Amino acid sequence: MEFLSNLANQQPFTLLEMFQGLLLAYVLGQVAAWVYMYTHTAVSYSQSFIQSIILLTVIISLGIMVIGNNLAIAFGLLGALAVIRFRNILKDTRDTSFIFFSLILGLATGTGQITLALMGTAVFTVIVLIMYWSELGARSSGNGYARFRVDGESFDQQELEDVMLKYCRTRDLLTQHYQEDGVGEIAYRLSMKRGLLPESFKTDISNMAGITLLSFMMQDEQNEI
């Protein structure tokens, strides 16, 4: 009961508290995003998703400040979320972040919390610009992915290694599966050397004996897998 009493008597946030709360949300969102980036090993990768982790952390923090101890605003937020319908599916998670942000701003201004709305807009805008200028979440432009089928009888692993050394700065084996008949599938994450054409790499791999069904994508092509 004491907790409910304190919640009911909660005073409006000061300008400093607003800024500290949003700044802490940004910092912790950064931590979550970097942990995700460091531990991500799947082929599919999206820079927009990385940025959305940070944006949504800040947006939720702003939304909680708007709601405070006002149940009417809380139910209003739930109702607004329930009636939102998108005519087109949002393929970019970053777009969803802006939708939520505009919704929170509408609640803030509609309930007279002008200072909070202005502070939230300023902080959100600065964060978006920082991520845009720094290209947060982007992996090096040379990164690519190669997946192909191999025939165990005619496939020469050493020849493949020579081609990899010629075109790639680094290479990471993602998957390697072989069947009983010797046919297998191999997938690599590649960091291509600058100045060498990816098309030449693809041609050299395709011309190797024992390799078929080559699928090769650069980073920009695989973001939306």
Query: 4 pLDDT exceeds 50?
Result: no
Q: What are the sequence ranges of the domains in the chain? A: 2-134, 143-222
Query: Rounded to an integer, what distance in angstroms lies between the CA atom of residue 171 and that of residue 104?
Result: 44
Domain 143-222 sits in CATH at 3.30.70.260
**Beta strand spans in the chain (E):** 143-151, 168-178, 183-192, 211-218
Average pLDDT over residues 127-148: 74
pLDDT tens for 9-30 read 556 678 888 888 888 888 888 8
3-class SS of residue 123: helix
Distances (CA, A) of 28 to 36, 55, 139, 154, 192: 12, 11, 21, 52, 33
Percent of the chain at pLDDT > 70 equals 73
Handedness of CA 46, 52, 57, 63 (dihedral sign): negative
Positive/negative CA dihedral, 150, 155, 157, 163: negative
* pLDDT tens column, 62-116: 888 877 777 777 776 676 666 555 555 656 667 777 777 877 876 776 666 778 8
